Amino acid sequence: MIKKFAILTFCCLGFLFTKAQVTDTIRLSEMSKGPKIVTDRAPQALYFQLGGSGPILSANYDRRFAKTLNGAGFAVGLGYWNIGGESMFSVPVSLNYLFGRKSHFIEIAGGTTFISASVLDWTGENENETGFIHHINLGYRHQPAAGGFFFRGGFSPLFYQGEANMSFYLGFGYNF
């Protein structure tokens, strides 16, 4: 009796595991029907970024609004940097749009970053400043349809108190 129960349990778990894998994969057969690759859930990515909206180093989460690899989405992150008495905390938030097919995309994004910085001045006193930096991103994104290694890179003009500075960015992570 126990042997039959164990076999039945094993078969049921195997069926559920197989069924979960089938429903949790990307339906790549939709590729031939047009430029949009339809997925069973909104594609997501976790990545580290150097430069850009961070503006120095940040960890980010990106997600599409729809169940397609291209189209509209958003990104939000946290950044921190501390060296030689200077520190910066940042929270970048942006809306983005991906143009492309398969795993290669052109990315256009815009958003704002909350910055809190502390700097030692020439007298040794701490000067603290907070504010918002606005950014526009234009770059390339490699995001495989079936998930895996994620890469993005490009340039990002940063706007702060009426001044513009050019920044480049590189991001590496994992998409799922």
Helix, strand, coil content of the chain in percent (nearest 5): 15, 60, 25
pTM of the model: 0.77
Confidence of residue 22 (pLDDT cuts 50, 70, 90): very low
List, in order, residues 6 or more apart from 124 with CB less than 8 Å away.
none
pLDDT, average across residues 136-152: 94
Of the chain, the percentage scoring pLDDT greater than 70 comes to 79
pLDDT, average across residues 39-60: 94
* Greater model confidence, 146 or 110: 110
Whether residue 32 is predicted with pLDDT greater than 50 in this model: the reply is no
* Greater model confidence, 39 or 59: 59
Confidence of residue 88 (pLDDT cuts 50, 70, 90): very high
Whether residue 138 is predicted with pLDDT greater than 80 in this model: the reply is yes
List, in order, residues 6 or more apart from 135 with CB less than 8 Å away.
52, 53, 92, 94, 109, 110, 111, 112, 113, 156, 157, 158, 159, 167
Domains of the chain listed by start with CATH number: 2-175 (2.40.160.20)
